[in-house]
Amino acid sequence: MSAALLVIDVQESFRHTTYWQADDLDAYLHQQNKLIAGCREAGLPIIRVFHVDIDGNPAFAQDSGHITPLAGSDPQADHTVVKHVHSAMVGTDLDAWLKAQGIHHLIISGIRTEQCCETTTRNASDMGYTVDYVTEATMTFPMRHANGHLYSPAEIKERTELVLAGRFATVRSVAAVLDQLPLTA
């Protein structure tokens, strides 16, 4: 097997932040769960990544009770990784685990599009992995720029696709990923 699905930071912590918005939640969960089910059916391992913040947001603290799968998301995983920085590839056993399994191709999904999902994608690409970035199976929240402009989740996703496509990943829809399963490189 040479491919795996990463489900990054799909955890209850987000519901307890000041920026949480559920506007896109149903659409996101539908796509995320469809991707998980399709990858599982194809025999690809599902890797669930949880973010645990050591000195920051209390919603992400280990003792918060929120480091659990986001309600409504498929909680099953073949391997679980706990990270303390944006990238799931840094300071975790993920790279070693992937290599031990013979995995060279990653499918990236999760929360937040432009933060942990994008950062993991960049690191994985730089480490030699082939990466599919599945934007519709990611979720994010509005962000205000220092100039006052409020960027919508759709604008943030578009910007993320712009900077990743062809440089760090192939941007694919859930349907496109599922159509090409099982991945072999």
Which residue range(s) make up the domain with 81? 3-179
Average pLDDT over residues 30-47: 97
The total of structural domains in the chain comes to 1
| DSSP assignment string, 36-88 | HHHHHHTT--EEEEEE--SSS-GGGSGGGS--SBPTTS----SEEEEESSS-T
- Could you tell me if residue 87 is inside a domain? yes
- Could you tell me if residue 109 is inside a domain? yes
**pLDDT per position as a tens digit, 132-152:** 999 999 999 999 999 999 999
Q: Please tell me the pTM assigned to this model.
A: 0.96
**One-letter amino acid identity for 75?**
P
Specify which residues 105 forms β-bridges with. Answer: 3, 130
Average pLDDT over residues 115-119: 98
pLDDT of 185 reads 47
- Could you tell me if residue 185 is inside a domain? no
* pLDDT mean across residues, the chain: 96
Question: Does the pLDDT of residue 157 top 90, yes or no?
Answer: yes
- Could you tell me if residue 184 is inside a domain? no
pLDDT of 56 reads 83
Question: Does the pLDDT of residue 180 top 60, yes or no?
Answer: yes
**pLDDT per position as a tens digit, 46-103:** 999 999 998 889 999 999 999 999 999 999 999 999 999 999 999 999 999 999 999 9
Give the CATH number for residue 82.
Answer: 3.40.50.850
**Confidence band for 104, pLDDT divided at 50, 70 and 90:** very high
- Could you tell me if residue 137 is inside a domain? yes
* CA gap 66, 32 in Å, rounded: 20
- Could you tell me if residue 62 is inside a domain? yes
pLDDT of 1 reads 54
Average pLDDT over residues 30-46: 97
Average pLDDT over residues 151-161: 98
pLDDT of 136 reads 97
- Could you tell me if residue 22 is inside a domain? yes
- Could you tell me if residue 172 is inside a domain? yes
pLDDT of 184 reads 57
* CA gap 15, 80 in Å, rounded: 21
